[in-house]
């Protein structure tokens, strides 16, 4: 799985027919990002752990601080391979 891209973009075009393909690069605003399942699972687990921590330890934190904690957890999960 290490050679698989971390994310791909589903691309579709509608002319006289529908053309669906994917690419590692986002080419159009309508492209839909897909993240590899193993990475998405790590990101979800990191967010759940961060939310548990926030719920039990940081009740007085504002939304900006909560967002920073979640973004940090996601970035850490994305970096793990």
**pLDDT, tens digit (0-9, with 9 covering 90-100), for 48-57:** 887 777 777 7
Q: Rounding to the nearest 10 degrees, give the CA dihedral for residues 47, 41, 28, 71.
A: 20
Average pLDDT over residues 27-52: 86
Contact (Cβ atoms closer than 8 angstroms) between residue 22 and residue 9: yes
Does pLDDT of 24 surpass 60? yes
Average pLDDT over residues 58-67: 69
Beta strands per DSSP E along the chain:
7-14, 18-23, 32-35
Q: How far apart are CA 18 and CA 32, in angstroms?
A: 16
Domain ranges of the chain: 1-35, 36-81
């Amino acid at each position: 799985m290490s050679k698989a891209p971390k994310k791909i973009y589903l691309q579709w075009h509608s002319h006289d027919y529908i053309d669906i393909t994917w690419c590692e690069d986002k080419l159009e605003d309508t492209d839909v990002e897909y993240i590899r399942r193993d990475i998405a699972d790590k990101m979800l687990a990191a967010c759940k752990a961060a939310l548990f921590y926030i719920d039990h330890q940081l009740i007085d934190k504002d939304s900006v601080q909560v967002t920073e904690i979640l973004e940090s957890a996601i970035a850490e999960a994305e970096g793990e391979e």
